Structure 1
Amino acid sequence: MFTKNRGYAILRQKDLIEGIWMETYTNNNKKPEITVIIPSYNVEEYIGECLESLKKQTFTDFEVLCVDDGSDDGTVDIIKEYAVSDPRFQYVGMDHCGKAGLMRNEGIKRAKGEYLLFLDSDDFFEPELMEHSLNKIKEDQADVCMYDARLYFGDTGKYRKSNVMQKKEYLPQTMPVEGKSFPYVFNIGTGCPWTSLFKKSLINENKLEFMALSRSNDIYFVNMALVLAKRITMLQEVLVNYRQRSTSLQANNTKTPWDWYEALKAIRDKLKELDLYDAVETSYKNLAFGVSIYNMCSLKAGEAFCQIYERLNNEIFAEFDLGTFTEEECYSYNAAKYQIYMQMKECSAVEYLFRQAQEMKEWQSRAKKAEKELKKLKSSTTLKAGKALLYIPKKLKHMNGKK
């Protein structure tokens, strides 16, 4: 049905897929250069800052598809406010499924742009994100343009540089590079979709989709897009501010502890199906190795940790050709994880946790001892005498300055 609101035509349309609604506040048939796809769910605290940072982009020929997963807070109202005031923003509503991958896939189906950005609703972006990444991808006639991101801590308002969003030591000497020929194709970044601009034809021609997982839905999509890309280019520029919050899916990974495993299996199987596995074997091994140990170590529940630890040791390392993974094969960014891997081969999960507890206890003991020594030093006669001696030249300098 059509209604009128603030001078814009509103089309509210029930899709062929049950539970999908779309509202657009203009009859906009023009094809923009970039489609931005944003999944959202109960992010009323952050979505305004996210959309405002897109509104302030130095590049203007884009559309934003906000695919909402049945939010029951004020998220939808905020999205609709932007859609009413700016026809580039659109609201797409879904029945709640809890799977960002399905929301992103819905966005891909509806996207009109030649290029796709997959951004998150709780992050915000530098004004040059679209302009600089689009210029670079066109300049190098590439299928993918990768760029850097930094961490943002909302409770303090502080930013922190990240060494994993774009691993500088793996940057190619010349660009662009072919995905399957690049030795670090799976290792240059984190596998997050929001650190790359993708050419839509690459996605359509290879029928790429995000996996229907609660977590790790993007690992398959991003890595398969990279290995299938004929030309990848990169910007050493921070264009995304990645918000850190305790209620994120990553922070609550105990609820779905095996999603990463399903994603890694899907990549391996597809590589073998396309006869690409041998070309990228070392890169894939390092991806599987890093993702496996990272997800195990990030768990907050002991029972889930032990389950993954034992299954990695007994099954999964061998399944991913990591049973005899050597230090020579291990890329530098996985060096710390390799030490964990070696310990895992020596002991059970309980023994490993006991060792970690002992090391923590020793560290705390050393920290307390150092704290006592510091207090003792601060109260010592020697320190007080030193301060007094320093005070004399300072005082003389001050008096001399007055003269």
Structure 2
Amino acid sequence: MPRFSIIVPVFKVQGYLRECLDSVLGQSYRDLEVIAVDDCSPDGCGAILDAYAARDPRVRVLHLPENVGLGRARNAGMPHATGDYLFFLDSDDTLTPGALRALADRLDELPGPDGPDVLVFDYARTYWWGGTRRNVLARVLAEAGAGTFTAAERPEILDLLMVVWNKVYRRDFVEKHGFRFPPGYYEDTPWTFPTLLGAERIAVLDRICVAYRQRRTGSILSTTSRKHFDIHDQYERVFAYVDSRPELSSWRPCLCHKMGEHCLDVLAKPDRLPESDKEEFFRRTAELFRKHKGGPTPPGLRVLEGGFTRYRAVRAARSLDLRARQVRAAAVVRLKRGWSNVHGHRPLDPHLAVYSAFSHRGVLGDPAAVHRAARELAPHIRGVWVVRADQVPSLPPGVEYVVPDSLRYHQVTARATYFVNNVNWPGTLAKRPGSVHIHTHQGTPLKYMGADLLHKPGARHGLDVPQMLRRADRWDYSLVANRHSELVWDRAYPCRFTSVRTGSPRNDVLVRARPGDGADVRARLGIPAGHTVVLYAPTRRDYVRGGHVDRIDLARFAEDLGEGHSLVVRLHPSLADGPARGMGLAELHRRGVLVDATTEPHVEELMLASDVLVTDYSALMFDYANLDRPIVIHADDWGTYTASRGAYFDLTADAPGHVTRTHRELAWLFACGGWRDEESAALRAGFRARFCEFDDGRAAERVVRTLMLGEQDLPLPVPAPAQAARDLLASS
């Protein structure tokens, strides 16, 4: 008896069917059966299914004599299922890698001999043009906890998309209650509500298991047809189910509200109903709502208590309100522009500095280090941070800030003398004569940047290089930590700035690190005392839409590291809010397999807390080298990466440590202890001599004294690791 019976109804999807089946049969978890139901598809789907069944005994094909529709095709497959759990997968969607393994592991950790009745998991919409967007209500899964519950205990579970394919169902539970799919357009509705309401044990998996394909032509529900009237019959079936079970009667108001919202959403879509049918659809919706509401009407549904004429009037009023808001917004823009012009005619304030980092994400990176030094060495210079509104609660106490595009923002940026940033300021910010723009960059460059991207069209997708250079024209000073960076920035940004060999201010804390500096961070992350902490920090990929590629099986790597090790993972910051963490990282963190530190604001704290860095091509390696701790480069796609993005030197030939190209090599390097051997130390020493040249622990002080206070006698940094590197290389 397999663990999962995956039922796949098939109709006119010959262009997508192979990808769907491959995503299932190629799963690392093999205990499954596929019941593919050919719903009398007129294209080549039947032959494709038969070919797969001939190659893989786990595939069984049912050829229906006539087309019966999606719901009844699923019904046809259910009697043939022998698995513990039923999984209904649409034939144009796909399973994500490792999805079934994650589902099986989640089921195994739940108590009880039978497992939950329903296990709900996450999905991501994948668009025909290459974009990916995670379920916007993913937080419901994250907040549901590790145990099981009923819908009454967590009613927010009903807020999730009411579809059949984001859940697996215990087969005994389905058979006991006799759940079946009705015919019609909205056949998922009278399945999902009853199964969730009838389930005694619901569990969740906070992981993206299904890639929900968004076709360019849309789904069948996006066609204009009277078939959308089917939604009323389907909700009548839901109410009939509740009526047959008195213990569920309290759900009637909630379900009535769901019905009203769903129907109004269909009515509001311009491509669902013929214009001549909209009044009838509204009337039937209102009748159904009055029949079943059983309680007070929410404000958003009060429109159903009036007629269609009132509904149209409300819609028109909302449209007028939207236009009024747009007019007000345009007026505000003119006001801000005028406000900025007024202050732009006032003298610069020689005691005002404005800071920003990572597109206004907070007090971070090099600008934060410069700000700290300025508060100590130049307290007469008032420092103001530009911070996004959503990041204000996380600001340190006592930090003065302005929100982007606010009136105070325009006032401060019009008067400030000093501007410190690690990314470009917006194009709307004009550089005034006498102002000093200090650009810190975000690290030593390995991959192509700036004008060098003109020869890499894939890497500069969505990036306006000429505009980037116009913004860089405002730089007065470019900070560098090594001669390599100095040469690259001169080439990548052909502008009129002056390079300053200050070192990287953010690295001062690393250069000055003492034993035990990372202990507090380890404790906060829940890392046991005495563990060897492996920090894995991959970078994004330009050759993949969205930038995320799983280069390492994290669960396997954590297991291979063995007892006494903790794996800490930090994805590239640009991936923190996308679907990348939902592909398994968040679930592995919940289970304690690893620590997901992607949203930790201060990466230097993670570096201090770790014993070794594993990365691919992240600029973090150049900063980490200041700690003089082992670094491992996992370069399994170096050729692809350099072909798409470009690199200023061959990292695999001039690496800061050992280079691995397969998971087996990586696991063996840690198993045998090679990650911290003498060869590793020699490679790291040479790397530090080249790339930590000007980092001496006084970079922030040097920036403040020379560029803000105008002092001339501060000595240039001495390349501290160079002599040690020569000695070590000579002896190896």
**TM-score category by the smaller chain?**
0.7 to 0.9
Asked if the contact 1:257/1:304 (under 8 Å) is kept, the reply is no
Q: Name the counterpart of 1:205.
A: 176
Bigger shift: 124-133 or 317-326? 317-326
Asked if the contact 2:124/2:135 (under 8 Å) is kept, the reply is yes
Asked if the contact 1:43/1:122 (under 8 Å) is kept, the reply is yes
Q: Name the counterpart of 1:355.
A: 317
Within-5 A mapping of 1:10-159:
31-97=1-67, 99-140=69-110, 141-155=115-129, 157-159=130-132
Distance 1:278 1:33 in 2: 34
Distance 2:164 2:220 in 1: 15
> CA distance change for structure 1 residues 325 and 386 in 2, over 3 Å: closer, same or farther?
same
Q: Name the counterpart of 2:191.
A: 221
- CA drift at 1:217: 0.6
For the residue of structure 1 that corresponds to 2:22, the secondary structure is: helix
Q: Name the counterpart of 2:355.
A: none
Distance 2:131 2:283 in 1: 39
Bigger shift: 63-72 or 199-208? 63-72
For the residue of structure 2 that corresponds to 1:235, the secondary structure is: strand
Asked if the contact 1:39/1:68 (under 8 Å) is kept, the reply is yes
Bigger shift: 119-128 or 317-326? 317-326
Within-5 A mapping of 1:1-400:
31-97=1-67, 99-140=69-110, 141-155=115-129, 157-164=130-137, 167-168=140-141, 171-173=143-145, 175-179=147-151, 181-184=152-155, 187-213=158-184, 215-245=185-215, 246-252=217-223, 254-298=225-269, 300=271, 301=273, 302-313=275-286, 315-321=287-293, 324-326=296-298, 338-339=299-300, 341-345=301-305, 348-359=310-321, 361-362=323-324, 386=431, 394-395=475-476, 397=478, 398-400=497-499
- CA drift at 1:384: 9.2
For the residue of structure 2 that corresponds to 1:53, the secondary structure is: helix
Distance 1:322 1:232 in 2: 27
- CA drift at 1:394: 2.0
- Ranges in structure 2 where 5+ consecutive residues have no aligned partner: 346-427, 438-471, 479-496, 502-715, 717-732
Distance 2:336 2:182 in 1: 53
Matched to 1:386, the amino acid is K
Asked if the contact 2:252/2:294 (under 8 Å) is kept, the reply is no
How many residue pairs get matched? 356
What's the TM-score once normalised by structure 1's chain length? 0.76
- CA drift at 1:196: 0.8
Give CA-to-partner distance per residue, 1:284-319, whole Å, 9 cap, x none: 334323323333223523333332223333x12111
> CA distance change for structure 1 residues 344 and 207 in 2, over 3 Å: closer, same or farther?
closer
Give CA-to-partner distance per residue, 1:41-69, whole Å, 9 cap, x none: 11122112111111221210111111122
For the residue of structure 1 that corresponds to 2:178, the secondary structure is: coil
Q: Name the counterpart of 1:15.
A: none
- CA drift at 1:393: 6.5
- CA drift at 1:101: 0.5
Rg larger for: 2
Distance 2:117 2:177 in 1: 12
- Ranges in structure 1 where 5+ consecutive residues have no aligned partner: 1-30, 327-337
- CA drift at 1:232: 1.1
Asked if the contact 1:35/1:63 (under 8 Å) is kept, the reply is yes
Asked if the contact 2:239/2:252 (under 8 Å) is kept, the reply is no
Overall identity of the aligned pairs, in % = 20
> CA distance change for structure 1 residues 401 and 102 in 2, over 3 Å: closer, same or farther?
same
> CA distance change for structure 1 residues 97 and 276 in 2, over 3 Å: closer, same or farther?
farther
Matched to 1:178, the amino acid is T
Distance 2:291 2:155 in 1: 21
- CA drift at 1:193: 1.0
- CA drift at 1:89: 1.8
Bigger shift: 270-279 or 363-372? 363-372
For the residue of structure 1 that corresponds to 2:225, the secondary structure is: helix
Matched to 2:320, the amino acid is Q
Distance 2:338 2:138 in 1: 43
> CA distance change for structure 1 residues 371 and 110 in 2, over 3 Å: closer, same or farther?
farther
- CA drift at 1:158: 1.3
> CA distance change for structure 1 residues 168 and 235 in 2, over 3 Å: closer, same or farther?
closer
- CA drift at 1:168: 4.5
Matched to 2:289, the amino acid is F
Asked if the contact 1:344/1:352 (under 8 Å) is kept, the reply is no
Asked if the contact 1:306/1:350 (under 8 Å) is kept, the reply is no
Distance 1:77 1:374 in 2: 64
- CA drift at 1:370: 8.5
- CA drift at 1:38: 0.9
Distance 1:106 1:207 in 2: 14
Bigger shift: 144-153 or 77-86? 77-86
For the residue of structure 1 that corresponds to 2:210, the secondary structure is: strand
Distance 2:195 2:91 in 1: 22
RMSD: 3.4
- CA drift at 1:350: 3.3
> CA distance change for structure 1 residues 282 and 204 in 2, over 3 Å: closer, same or farther?
same
Asked if the contact 2:2/2:33 (under 8 Å) is kept, the reply is yes
What's the TM-score once normalised by structure 2's chain length? 0.44
Asked if the contact 1:152/1:243 (under 8 Å) is kept, the reply is yes
1 or 2 for the larger relative contact order (CA 8 Å, sep ≥6)?
1
- CA drift at 1:83: 1.8
For the residue of structure 2 that corresponds to 1:151, the secondary structure is: strand
Asked if the contact 1:37/1:116 (under 8 Å) is kept, the reply is yes
Give CA-to-partner distance per residue, 1:195-234, whole Å, 9 cap, x none: 1111111111111101111x11111112212222221111
Matched to 2:292, the amino acid is F
